[in-house]
Structure 1
Amino acid sequence: MADRRNLDVYQDGYWWSKDGVRLHYRDYGHANAANGRPPILCFAGLTRNARDYANVAERLSGDWRVIAVDFRGRGESGYAADPMSYVPLTYLQDVEALLEHLAIERFVAFGTSLGGIVTMLLASAERQRIAGVLLNDVGPELDPAGLARIRGYVGKAAWHPTWMHAARALAEANADVHPRFDIEDWLAMAKRLFRLNSAGRIVLDYDMKIAEPFRVPGNEAGPDMWRTLDALAGRPVLLVRGETSDILSARTADAMILRLGQRAELVTVPDCGHAPTLDEPEVSAAIDRLLDKISAEPVAA
């Protein structure tokens, strides 16, 4: 789906990081801010941006306020002067500044890949404010094979003359991740991952320097992520995993559910790698179940 600049769908918002980077978010369903439901904060993966959550946010915005965040160096957020600030603990500080900026006391967090790491760190730092969580294809242990694959492409500039060229390049590189995608699906993904620059080229929509800290082993997550996961025990949690994911193993996913307890649910998306789009029918139904649990218990324990 093309990127829509329609203020009936969302409003653009901005805030400032502690080190002076102007950051951006999309605010869907702002009118729902007064309905008593906690807003849903959405965090995308390493090379992705707020557009990844457009379909989910539009579907939910009739009843929920959904805030899709561009991490620093992505989308419409500013680029950092220091590339070594492109690490999860800095993203955590940026999100905490957003919570303060919007005076949000309680929230739901959806996090894909890197966004899920930030979500787990948030849960550890702000446990009493977390109403529920969706973790998309990420956990406290990351498969080395998947990390090696990501390190192999992140930070490598690419451009295409047309959107269709970009879509076909994505299809060729990621056919094993989404084998059921047709060209329209790849075109929609291209319009989330790339942007049109001033020279008329289709280019990746992130600062290539995000690769610098990521190439240093250990910078992809925080210390002792199992302890951060424990902060979610007893909360409503939805864990989504791609069946062929090379980032979140089935063993780790099962261990997470066992550790989180009875209020956690695991949904595995068949014929899908890293990471599910969250538009899949089984995931949409699970998201609705998660939000029903949160609505039934509006005050965090």
Structure 2
Amino acid sequence: MSSSEGFSDFFYSAPDGLRLHARIYGEANSGHWPVVCLPGLTRNARDFHELALHLSTRAQVPRKVVAFDYRGRGQSAYDADISHYNVGVEAGDILAGLAALGIEAAAFIGTSRGGLIIHVLGMTQPAVLKAIVFNDIGPVIEAVGLAHIQSYLERAPKPRTFAEAVDAQRSVHGQDFSALTDADWARMVRALNRETDQGLLPDFDPKLVDIVSGLDLTQPLPSLWPQFDALGAIPLLTIRGANSRLLSTDTLKQMGEHHSIMETITVEGQGHAPFLETSDLPDAIAAFLDRADMSMG
């Protein structure tokens, strides 16, 4: 493990042979459920760095934390077949990674797309899910939220410097994320981008933008209520950004009606998706995992 950064890099093969990557924090921690962190559509394992450090070293019950890079993101290889960039394939990749690590069950934290993957796992491999944290995602996705994602991915600026990149993120997301500090914005830019000879570049396969652009938002989006209902016996915490355009307050209310033991947190001054290392979220997430661990025995 890198003592300076608090994690080790883990590489493994997907079912189709693609080389994939994950970060492992608190590798020696045992005796309690590990935590699996699944990022959003174009994001990567770096999104969870501060939260993972908290859960693995600072929490009352330190846990092993595994944060995955999906294929085409972060340090995972890009896929020549863009049809493989879908939640079904990515769910299979996560299961392959867990098998390679010898993890049979874990608590899962899913931001946006990560939460959709958890819905898939609930139908295909429910025994792997011991507790769930949804970060601004549920069984109904609002078209206006997807349209916003489409818009900023298609029109993403090409900043030349780090400062320009921070300004660009503020210009797009500042209204939804009034609670963020300068340090938060800087951390966001570092997580989203990689340093190259051409300067900062988004750390994902550019073909992902083509997939998002191809979504027809004039048609009703399918809901995942049957998949969500399959999670009914699993301890669940749903975090929603107060300014979220993707997860509505109505959907959050319905989720509570479907899932009798669901807990909720609304994060003021943040949109889609809240930064899990901000405010008191690290302590709240750790406490939820401890309660779920005790209740499930």
Q: 1:155 to 1:94 in 2, by over 3 A?
A: farther
Matches within 5 A, 1:2-21: 6=3, 9-21=6-18
Q: CA deviation at 1:240?
A: 0.3
CA distance in 2, matches of 1:218, 1:296: 44
* Conserved 8 A contact 1:106-1:130: yes
Q: CA deviation at 1:155?
A: 5.5
CA distance in 1, matches of 2:237, 2:4: 30
Over 6 Å off, 4+ runs: none
Residue 182 of structure 2 corresponds to 183
Worse-matched range after superposition: 223-232 or 263-272: 223-232
Residue 239 of structure 2 corresponds to 240
Superposition CA RMSD, Å: 2.0
Q: CA deviation at 1:6?
A: 4.7
Residue 164 of structure 1 corresponds to 163
Aligned residues: 289
Q: In the alignment, which of 249, 263, 285 is matched to residue 265 of structure 1?
A: 263
- SS of the residue corresponding to residue 281 of structure 2 reads helix
Residue 64 of structure 1 corresponds to 63
Q: In the alignment, which of 39, 42, 47 is matched to residue 42 of structure 2?
A: 47
Q: 1:156 to 1:80 in 2, by over 3 A?
A: farther
* Conserved 8 A contact 2:152-2:172: no
Q: CA deviation at 1:90?
A: 1.0
Matches within 5 A, 1:83-102: 83-102=82-101
Residue 275 of structure 1 corresponds to 273
Which residue type is aligned with residue 226 of structure 1? W
Q: 1:83 to 1:134 in 2, by over 3 A?
A: same
Q: CA deviation at 1:112?
A: 0.3
Segments of structure 1 that go 5 or more residues without pairing to the other structure are none
What fraction of aligned residue pairs are identical, expressed as a percent?
Answer: 33
* Conserved 8 A contact 1:238-1:264: yes
* Conserved 8 A contact 2:122-2:231: yes
CA distance in 1, matches of 2:146, 2:281: 24
Q: In the alignment, which of 290, 294, 297 is matched to residue 296 of structure 1?
A: 294
CA distance in 1, matches of 2:44, 2:154: 15
Q: CA deviation at 1:174?
A: 0.9
Which residue type is aligned with residue 180 of structure 1? A
Which residue type is aligned with residue 88 of structure 2? L
Which residue type is aligned with residue 43 of structure 2? R
Worse-matched range after superposition: 271-280 or 234-243: 271-280
CA distance in 2, matches of 1:117, 1:7: 33
- SS of the residue corresponding to residue 282 of structure 2 reads helix
Residue 105 of structure 2 corresponds to 106
Segments of structure 2 that go 5 or more residues without pairing to the other structure are none
Matches within 5 A, 1:216-227: 216-217=214-215, 224-227=223-226
Q: Does 1:249 align with 2:244?
A: no
* Conserved 8 A contact 1:155-1:211: yes
Residue 23 of structure 1 corresponds to 20
1:24-74 per-position Cα deviation (integer Å, ceiling 9, x unaligned): 000000001xx2212111011111100000010000102100000001111
